[in-house]
Each structure stands twice: as structure tokens, then as C-alpha cells.
Structure 1
């Protein structure tokens, strides 16, 4: 069921943190004074990428099928596209401002902020697809994560600000590097539809049928 998949996604998310946050850590939070705030622009890396892999891992493990996975992805995209604040705040700014905005939300929050969990996860999807496209399937986000583990997890060396982008740069794809920086530091729309189309998945937008309609997989309802 969707509820059970939701529970598995939460378990997957927190289990992934055993490596990606507990061992691979952002430098500003490593050894931070827990009695006060610590600021980093990398929360999209640590929470957003984890949000991407928590769902992808369920698919890879056979806990959900392709259609259920795409349905859950559609709901994530719907949630992001229903957030006007994505045009007001970059995901790097969202990460840095977490102490003063995310943790102090009010009724206007969706209009001027964006979640580094949600948009960060969609950026991870875009990065994975773009790497696969530009390398003709030879490289993916998995390769970046392996490098991240080798250089920062296994070595216990915290990730400096901009360190993730530097790892992506080392793969040698100028288009990927340029696109990633734009997605992280600018406020433009993400090219999700284009990248999904390259892999045989069509993204269609439809008007919500009611307040409970959060998107999903399949043909859109008649208008």
C-alpha cells in the first residue's frame, strides 16, 4: 500500500543517513557547538540527495514497482511545483536559512521559501539523469556518491562548502557542472520534463481534481 511504502521510505531515508550525514558530514556541522546554530549551504546535498535515494532504493530493492515509484515521484514533483517560493529562494539559500525560515514556518512560508528536502531531491534526480545522458550511460549519481564516500566518508574528512560540486566537476562534463550550479544557486525552473523524456518518461501536468489530488502515475483525467 502507499502507506506502507511511505513507512519504508522513511526507514530508507534514516538508514541512508548512517553513511550520508553520520559518516559523510558537512564541514560546518562537524564538531559544531550544539548550543547554537551552525550554518551551511549544503543541506540540499545531505537531505535532498537522501530524499532521492530513499525512494530509489525502494525501487532497486523491489519493495515498490516502477509504476508505484513513478507515482511517488509525481507526487514529489507536484509538491515542488505547488510551492511558489521556489522562484523566491534558491536551494542553497534554503539550506543556509533553515534556522530562521524552515524551523520558523508560518502560513506565508510556501510563498517565499522552498524545501531543500524536496527541491534537493529533484535536483538529485536531474543530476543523475543528466550524468547518464552526457556520459552515454557510463556515469551516474552513484559514481559521485562513491567518490564522496572515498574522499570524505572513509577518510573521515568533512565535506567543505562547494565540495560536492567539485566532485561533480572532476567527472569532466562542463554541461553537467554548469547546470548543477544553476540549479543550486539560481531560482529558475528545473528541466525535469526534458530529462525524463530522454529516458522514455513523459511528464504531464493536469489541474487538480480536488484538494486531495497530489499527482500520480497514469493518464491524466479528462479536463
Structure 2
């Protein structure tokens, strides 16, 4: 009696190297792209906190104006100006607020609401927006020059073309869309600080 032939198991299929290789390549590519995006993406700009609610918000002009107007001391305002670059010159219609002294903060709003800038990258001219009607008056030349506060570059608003040629403003861009600065009275014997103010573009 002949015995039945022994059953020989079939060999397992070869591993699917092509698919595994493709999957591995895809994973590596995704990792490289993710790493590249992280390296190339601009770092998020952080808010700058000077303490006591005096905060410059990089993406919130209204909150920055509120801080400058209501929470920043005179010393903090001065430090903010010193820390800021000249920045871009304002363009078009801006809203304005006096930030000190308190008496000027109180009396200015009915009479002054901002400035109209007719400027290019290197400066230009401006007029002030007078009363709630936004009447244009008190023209000034706008150009780059050294600030009286610290001698570093700022945008100078020179009122020599107006009926108040003694006035000289200087501003710097403290956050995107927000400028802070000083208004000086150029007297015969000395230059006196009249007030500080902030501007935002409409």
C-alpha cells in the first residue's frame, strides 16, 4: 500500500517592499515638509508688556490705544517711544487721541480727532482733522529726522507752513497701525513739551 505524498506548504508571498517603501517615503516627505514649514514660517510677534496694564498688542490697535491712553504712565510712554523704530509713515486718514497731560486729554476731543496724511515712503504733508466734522486745518510737512527725545530716527511733523510754526511733532510706529509721539513748542529760549498723542489709521 503506497503512502500518500506528504503535503508541502506553499511558500509565503514575498514582502510587498514596493508599497512599504512608498509609505516610508511619504512619511519622510511629510516630516521634512513639516519641519521646513516650521523653520520658514515667520515667528509670531509677541505682545510687549510694560507692566500695570501697559501692553502693546501686535494685532489689536484698539487695545494698544486703550493701554497708551489709560494704563501707561508717562515713564512707560517715554520708554515705549525709545524702544520703537521709526517704522512706516502713516498714510490716509488717522484717528488721534491725546495721552497726556490729563487736562489736554479732557479738552482735546471736541477740537481735534486726528490727522490726514498725504504721504509716500519718504514723507509728504498732512492736515489736522478739526472738530467732529473733520475740517482740515493746520498743515504740516512730514519727513524723517532725529527725535528731540533721544536723537534717533522718527517721523517729524513740522508745522512751519501753518499759523503755528513753533509746533513740531515727532512720532514712531509702536505696533502695526499705531503711532505714538510728542508735540513740542519751539520757543525762542527753549523747546517745551505740549502733549503726547497716539494715532491709528482708519
TM-score past 0.5 threshold: no
Q: Shorter-chain-normalised TM-score: which range? A: under 0.3
Report 1 or 2 for greater relative contact order, CA contacts < 8 Å, sequence distance ≥ 6.
1
More strand by share: 2
Larger Rg: 2
